[in-house]
Amino acid sequence: MRTSHGIAVALSAGFRLATAAPCGESSLLWVTTYPVGAGAGKLLTLKLDQATLQSVAESDTCGPFPSWLTQADDVLYCVNEAWGGANGDLSALQIADDLTLAKLSGGQTVGGPVSTHVYGEGGRGLAVADYAGGGIDTFDITDPAAIAVIKSRVYPAPSDNLPEPRNQARPHEAILDPTGDFLVFPDLGADLLRVLKVNKETLETTDTTSHEFARGTGPRHGAFFKSGDKTFFYVACELSNLLQGFAVTYNDDQTLSFTQVYNATTHGDETALPAGTSAAELYLAPNSNFITLSSRNEASLQYTLANGTEVASDPLITFSINAESGALTHVQTAPAGGINPRHFSFSQDGSRVASALQSDGRVVVFERDTASGKIGKAVAEVAVEGMPNFVMFKQ
C-alpha cells in the first residue's frame, strides 16, 4: 500500500539519526528547489553536523526557478529554468566564507536550461543543455564577473511529428568525455546523443555526427567510464526506462562512434516497470567502476523516516562495470528516501549519497560502502520548502 507523501511546505529542523556525520568539505550541501504554487524556488545551503541535516543559508540570487549547479573553485554557476519564458538564465555566484552568495554576473540562455558542465583549458568554458528551448549554449567564464555567451544553438524539431516531448529537440544534460575533447548531450526529444568537438584553447565547439536511438527511447542522463585504453558510455533513458551501455570509439575524423554493449531496463532485467515510471539521474561513483541511477514514480520500496513512519520510496539502483567488456552487473536496489528522486550525488570520496526527493520535499543523506558500491543506512534527512530538484556536496 502506498503511503501518503505530500510536499513539505515549511522548512523543518533537521532530523537526527544515530550515524556519525562526515567532517570537512562533504558536510555542506547545495540544494535547489522548484517553487510550489505562486512562490519562488530557492538555492539552499544544508549542513550535516553530528548526524543532523539542516538549512544554514538560503538565496534567491539564481532566480525563481533554480536548477542545476556547477561549482568551480569559489564560484557557483546556477541556471534558472524560467518556466514558461522564452529564455533562461545563467548566474555566476561568489561563495563567501560565511556561505552567502553574491551574484557576480549573468547571461541569457536558450529556454529551459537544465544542466551545465565546465570544459576547456583551465576550466574557462561552460556548456549548458536547454531542455525546453531545444538547444545548447556555451559560455566563456574566464572572468566570473563578466561571463559571456560564445554560441547559442537551437536544433530543428524531428520531422516525424510525434507527441510531446518527442515533438522537438530536448537536450537534457551536458557531459564532458574523459579526454576533454568532446561534449555529449543526450537529447530526450530527438533520441540522439549530440556530440560537439571542443577546441580547448578557443572554447569554440563544432557539431559532429550524432548517435541515433530508436524513437521513443528518450536518452536523459549519462556518464563516461575510462578503463585503460577503453572508454564506455552509459545512459539512463527516461521514456523507455532502459539503461544502455556503449563502447566509445575515437575516430580519425574527429568524431565519436558508440557501439552498444549493454541494454536492459533500469533494474537490469526485462521485467516491466510500473506505469508512470521514468528514469532520472545517472552517475559514476568517484574513483570506482560503479554506476548508480535513480528511477522516479515507482513507489516500489519503503523508507522509514527518522520519526519511525514508513513511506513509499523510489529506488537508487547500482551496477558494477566490467572493465574489459563494459557489461553491467546489478549490485543493489536501495530506497532513495521517498518519491521522485530527480537528482542525487556522491560526496567526493564516495562515502555518502545525497538524494533530492522532488515530490516529497525532502533531502536524505545515506552512508555508502565504497568497496561494494552499496548504499547503506540514512545518515540524516530534512524537509525543505518547495520541490528539491538538485543536491550536490560542496567542493
321 with 302: CB under 8 angstroms?
no
How many whole angstroms separate alpha carbon 301 and alpha carbon 336?
A: 9
How many whole angstroms separate alpha carbon 306 and alpha carbon 380?
A: 8
In single-letter form, the type of residue at position 383 comes to: A
| Domain boundaries of the chain, sorted by first residue | 15-393
**Residue 38: what are its φ and ψ, rounded to 5°?**
-90, 5
On the CB side of 135, CA atoms within 13 Å amount to: 15
How many whole angstroms separate alpha carbon 237 and alpha carbon 256?
A: 20
CA 113 to chain centre: 12
Whole-number pLDDT of residue 14: 35
Strand partners, 184: 175, 195
pTM attached to this predicted model = 0.93
**Residue 374: what are its φ and ψ, rounded to 5°?**
-85, 140
How many whole angstroms separate alpha carbon 53 and alpha carbon 57?
A: 12
The owner of cell 537536450 is 171
CATH number for the domain whose boundaries are 15-393: 2.130.10.10
Whole-number pLDDT of residue 4: 30
Where are the strands (E) in 63-144, listed by range? 66-72, 75-80, 87-95, 101-110, 113-119, 125-130, 135-140
**One pLDDT digit (tens) per residue for the chain, 395 residues:** 223 323 232 223 333 233 333 333 459 999 999 999 888 999 999 999 978 999 999 999 999 999 999 999 999 999 999 999 999 999 999 999 999 999 999 999 999 999 999 999 999 999 999 999 999 999 999 999 999 999 999 999 999 989 999 999 999 999 999 999 999 999 999 999 999 999 999 999 999 999 999 999 999 999 999 999 999 999 999 999 999 999 999 999 999 999 999 999 999 999 999 999 999 999 999 999 999 999 999 999 999 999 999 999 999 999 999 999 999 999 999 999 999 999 999 999 999 999 999 999 999 999 999 999 999 999 999 999 999 999 999 99
Whole-number pLDDT of residue 38: 83
